[in-house]
Amino acid sequence: MEWTVKELAERAGISGRALRYYHRIGLLQPDRVGSNGYRYYRSESVARLQHILLLRDTGMALTEIATVLDAQDTPNAEIEALQVHLRRLEADRQTLERRITAVQHTLKMRREGRAPQMDVMLQGFNDDYEAEVVERWGRDAFEASNQWWHGKSVREQQTWKADTEALLARWRELQEAGYEPDSTAAQEQATAHMNWFAQIPGTPTHSGDKEKSTAMVLGVADQYESNPDFHLTFGSEAAARFAADALRNHIRHLPEHRG
């Protein structure tokens, strides 16, 4: 039995245009083309189309689907491709969750009549803090972080700020949920915060100086706890203190600080 483009499209629930496009890119070839120019598909082609649609529903790109279906060992190729695709989707989900958290935090601040306070979290790569950064870490540290920050496009700066908003919002979320600073969730967040520090050129965490990194993080934790600007940035004094305690706990349990 054979099906025309129209018949197969109706059977599969897709458009004839999609079938013709699959033919054009070599993803699904018709079994024959009649003298009238019509494309005809047999059962094996229908089975391939069903496979294509199944993988397409996972969000896999058509080029990847073609590679999978044309592989000699299709089952293993499909498994490997789906594993790669799953990891990509999980990473996308994490990014989306961070964005959602950032929007929720920003929306809450707006409803309270406040603007999200970002500048205080951007010490080290903002012109307003030059004197303080130079005093703490030296001129080279300021220049490195300042060039890094101002070398970003506006979109990159906005993305960085959104990620930072999400980082701060997560601290308050954990604190309000009743977690202890030494809990697994809080320590995972402390690790994320340390990774945030490490992204910033000019800081000891970026250069890997363990001794200076410890001093920096403990000093920042003291600021989180005592500085009202940081209380506002974290959304509450309790959240800022919680973050400070968790970071101190994290530092105490690093390998070089044990025993």
The phi and psi torsions of 41 (rounded to 5 degrees) equal -125, 135
Q: What is the pLDDT of residues 26-69, one digit of tens each?
A: 999 999 988 888 899 998 898 899 999 989 988 888 999 999 88
d(CA 121, CA 100): 20
* Sheet containing strand 39-41, strands side by side: 3-4, 39-41, 32-33
Share of the chain above pLDDT 90, in %: 31
Q: What is the pLDDT of residues 195-221, one digit of tens each?
A: 998 988 878 888 888 888 888 899 889
Q: What is the pLDDT of residue 124?
A: 36
d(CA 27, CA 157): 40
Q: In which band, very low, low, confident or very high, does the pLDDT at 115 lie, cut at 50, 70 and 90? A: low
Residue recorded with tokens 């101002």 = 150
**pTM (2 decimals)?**
0.50
The strand pairing partners of 32, in sequence order, are: 40
**What's the helix, strand, coil split of the chain in %, to 5?**
75, 5, 25
Q: What is the pLDDT of residues 127-176, one digit of tens each?
A: 555 666 666 667 777 777 777 877 777 678 778 888 888 999 999 999 99
d(CA 207, CA 198): 8
Find out whether 189 and 181 touch, Cβ atoms under 8 Å: no
What 3-state DSSP class applies to 40? strand
d(CA 168, CA 249): 18
Buried b (16+ CB within 10 A) or exposed e, 1-25: ebbbbeebbeebebeeebbeebbee
Q: In which band, very low, low, confident or very high, does the pLDDT at 186 lie, cut at 50, 70 and 90? A: very high
Give the number of other CB atoms < 10 A from CB of residue 93: 10
Q: What is the pLDDT of residue 132?
A: 60
Q: In which band, very low, low, confident or very high, does the pLDDT at 107 lie, cut at 50, 70 and 90? A: confident
Q: What is the pLDDT of residue 114?
A: 65
Does position 231 have pLDDT exceeding 60, yes or no? Answer: yes
How far, CA to CA in Å, does 84 sit from each of 16, 42, 43? 30, 32, 30
Q: What is the pLDDT of residues 232-247, one digit of tens each?
A: 889 899 999 999 999 9
- Give the start-end residues of each E strand in the chain: 3-4, 32-33, 39-41
